Structure 1
């Protein structure tokens, strides 16, 4: 694991972001258990840091911010796995309705690591399954292979494909089961090459049912920010692997580069 990249992600969290959340109510991991939302509807947005600052100032009376070990802007390190043919990437690119992404993720604020499978079905729902692991490793052990098989009915040849480092702010609606994550300081790494998008923020609203009337979605509309289906894995892969098929991502990539 690239520890320097993890540390750099933390350093990029500017004082203005910390100031924007300083007056928000805190919520702990244990308190957030009631809104784990492992089976949910996701709505994603792409915005700039200026929009994020404005949004945080508008949401402080309606949302609490997750605090872990005294940290509210938490560094994450993620290693994505895919087949040598990049099946997960191509399934997403080609619009396949039932698809999956497989990754290992370290939550640096408390040191926890998980092996995670994200399943997206034809009804637009996301189901996440995970098990704790000691650390991120660049191989799939027999035990993890059994877990993949039990959750997906298949065990493809999985290889490490892309590292992503970023920091995350997690908000929890004080009145209903809704979480909002803001991922910033995106840093993609692959075989000695990397690409940073320091001014880009990927927001994800996670709900039991699609609810456009939630406060955060109302404020995003007022800012002129519309939903955009985007995958950090696919974004990083298309940036660092220019030979990949990406024609269906072109419009999104242009919009993202304009924001970034």
Structure 2
């Protein structure tokens, strides 16, 4: 795991913290019971902070019809620091498989929940319905994703899901750091990320997200949720954007990444640096 890169405080960071503290709380145990969603449909949005506060305010309002969304709360915290390292082949097989829309595609990453120290080895697959299916295995001590145990987990997961072998060589390719608040209703989840910093681990170049944007993902077992419809009503449309592919599209301009470039250049307004 690479060293975490502190994300600067931003308008978006203040917005997600403010929204989370205004909402009723939900514990991690109840979240896992009501909305684990390891198999789900994900939709991404780049949302200006003012619009984000209006939308989340409506979804978390106690007078809202049905059960309002609640904010994940752990030890009185409602905004949490995430650090991830993505692994790819020397030729960026995962990036190019996603670019080409291949059915048997996957992403491999190590995720650190910085506030608790928990680490997970995660493999994200594409399901038969076009949904995202996530497989996780805990990392302990000095374990890394390249060690024997995680590699056996990777091989077993890819064999069971796709009947393919794992890549023979993997290397760390990109790290991400950001602040996240999560809002939950039965069978639905909204993750809201701010202060995103991405580092190309092969070149050392860094890019930062626009401080006035919240990266919102809606996650559910259904194609469209109430949150999606409300965002659409506020004239916010889904963005063709992922942290991994979008960041690489900006950090490595020579890559063929047209499908992500428009959203990526909107999200990452700062110049890259070393």
Q: Verify same fold: TM over 0.5.
A: yes
CA-atom RMSD in angstroms: 2.3
Judging changes above 3 Å, is the alpha-carbon distance between structure 1 residues 10 and 256 closer, same or farther for their aligned structure 2 residues? Answer: closer
Query: In the TM superposition, what are the counterparts of 1:114-129 in structure 2 within 5 Å?
Result: 114-129=120-135
Contact 1:9 1:75 in 2 (8 A): no
Name the TM-score, length of structure 2 as normaliser: 0.84
Of residues 173, 194, 219 in structure 2, which corresponds to 1:161? 173
Q: Deviations over 1:15-71 (max 9, x none)?
A: 444333322110111111121111112222222222222222222121000012221
Taking structure 1 as reference, are residues 188 and 96 closer, same or farther at Cα in structure 2, changes over 3 Å only?
Answer: same
Matched with 2:220 is 207
Q: Are 2:208 and 2:268, in contact at CA under 8 Å, matched by a contact in 1?
A: no
Given the superposition, is the C-alpha separation of residues 130 and 16 from structure 1 closer, same or farther in structure 2, using an over 3 Å criterion?
A: closer
Say if 2:189 and 2:219, in contact at 8 Å, map to a contact too: yes
Structure 2: gaps spanning 5 or more residues: 62-67, 160-164, 270-274
Gaps of 5+ in 1: none
> TM-score, normalised on structure 1?
0.88
Q: Size of the alignment, in residue pairs?
A: 253
In structure 2, do the counterparts of structure 1 residues 137 and 89 end up closer, same or farther at CA, with 3 Å as the change threshold?
A: farther
Distance 1:15 1:181, change over 3 A: closer
Answer yes or no: is the 8 Å Cα contact 2:145–2:151 preserved in 1.
no
Counterpart mapping for 1:58-137 below 5 A: 58-61=58-61, 62-134=68-140
Q: C-alpha displacement at 1:138, in angstroms?
A: 6.3
Deviations 1:207-234 (A, max 9, x none): 1222x3x331222011101122321100
Separation (CA, whole Å) in 1 of partners of 2:238 and 2:29: 30
Q: Which moved more, 1:30-39 or 1:135-144?
A: 135-144
Cα distance between partner residues in 2 of 1:52 and 1:136 = 39
DSSP-derived class of the 1:22 partner: helix
Work out whether 1:232 is the aligned partner of 2:231: no
Q: Distance in 1 between matches of 2:139 and 2:42?
A: 26
Name the CA distance, whole Å, in 2 between partners of 1:16 and 1:203. 12
Q: Distance in 1 between matches of 2:136 and 2:13?
A: 31
Structure with the largest fraction of strand: 1
